[in-house]
Amino acid sequence: MSHFEQKNTMQQSVDENSQLKAQLKQLLSNAHENQLKLKRFEQIEFKLMAAESIEQLLVIIRDEYTSLFKLDDCALLLEDENLSLRRLIPDGLQNTPNDHFLTLLNFPVELEKLHYLPTELMTGFYHSNHHQWLMNNPHIESIAVMPLMRHGRKIGVFCCGSYDRTRFQAHAACDFLQRLSFIMAVCIENALNLERLKLSSMTDALTQVHNRRFFDQRLPQELSRNDRALTAISCLFLDIDHFKQVNDTYGHGVGDDVLCQVAQRIQTGLRTHDILARYGGEEFAVLLPDTSNDEAMMVAQRIIDAVNKDRIVIDKNVILTITISAGVSTLMTDDTMIDDTRSDSLNDIKSLGMKLLSTADEALYDAKKQGRNRAINAGLLALIDSVECSQKFQC
């Protein structure tokens, strides 16, 4: 072998060694990057599995996952054909003008689109004509679409978006995302089931409105919120007139039907954030946040009219005219009412809530005495009564 050939052979060997070193360095770099990525995925997975409520879970997905993986946008779409999720997920997390993170799908065309999505992870360039219904962001360049599958059924889809066109390349190996989509689906399903259990314990089994336990828990919460907002809060106490006669004449089965239909008619006269509960027997309580005394009286009259406007039809042989009576009370808070720094503040708020409710109950009693089928206004809860208790509930 000539000197020139030996030199070429040595140079080739050097070049091959350099290439091998470069490849090894790249492999080590990729391994290190994958290790870091795995740690990030494990970190978010542990947080998802440790979430104690659907609200906490969704906040982790929306905020922490987006931040940890430096995503430019993300969107979660959940199937809600029977509109049940709207009762389980806090209003503040549902689709709002300034936050399009969560969308609950219930229209047939939306459900059909969800149904026809592939069941496997999809990555690639963002195309508005294909992806706009999933993520409506004109700045997105690449997208990862992660179907959320449970028991062979698609319960939703989670989408990750990037302004980098190469971030989510088509057909890229995305084992981490595939695993995350599975864990996310399991956690969402479990969190929703937990919320359903909580809701069932707070729901009247017969009328399907809230029960007394729920009302008693929410009353002090709403009083505290209204106090911070310095707004009025009103309470209605309602009772079906002559309900005992219905049970005695037609039996408890008919009485149950009457309760259900009356509850529905009451609900139609309320806003979505008003709180209706079956308080006991044929009695219902309604909490009206941010509602003045005059407004509360209008709501009470609207409910009375809704109940007695049309007769209640049980069957062709039982058609009843049902009326209802109401008592109304209102609390107008100001900055002298509740001091959150006091150790006994919670007890004070609970006491005030019971007074608001009992005042409405007393007005209801007056409505019964005055002939039923009417609303009696107890007016504003006398603030002087609260202030006289040695300033801020020290009575």
Q: What is the pLDDT of residues 373-395, one digit of tens each?
A: 999 999 888 544 443 443 333 33
Through-space distance between the first and last CA atoms of the chain, rounded to whole angstroms: 110
Residue 100: domain span: 51-200
Give the number of C-alpha atoms closer than 13 A to the C-alpha of residue 246, restricted to the C-beta side: 22
Same domain? 219 vs 353: yes
Same domain? 169 vs 278: no
Same domain? 188 vs 278: no
Distance CA(355)–CA(77), nearest Å, equals: 43
142-178 pLDDT, tens digit per residue, is 999 999 999 999 999 999 999 999 999 877 667 888 8
Positions marked active-site: 282
Residue 307 CA from chain centroid, whole number = 30
For residue 337, the model assigns a pLDDT of 46
Grade residue 225 by pLDDT with cuts at 50, 70 and 90.
confident
With respect to residue 7, please indicate whether it lies within any of the assigned structural domains: no
Distance CA(265)–CA(326), nearest Å, equals: 14
Same domain? 69 vs 214: no
For residue 339, the model assigns a pLDDT of 46
β-bridge mates for residue 145, sequence order: 122, 159
Residue 376: Cβ-neighbour burial (10 angstroms; 0-12, 13-18, 19+): buried
For residue 345, the model assigns a pLDDT of 63
The SS3 assignment for 376 reads strand
pLDDT at 236 over 60: yes
CATH number reported for the structural domain that contains residue 168 in this entry: 3.30.450.40
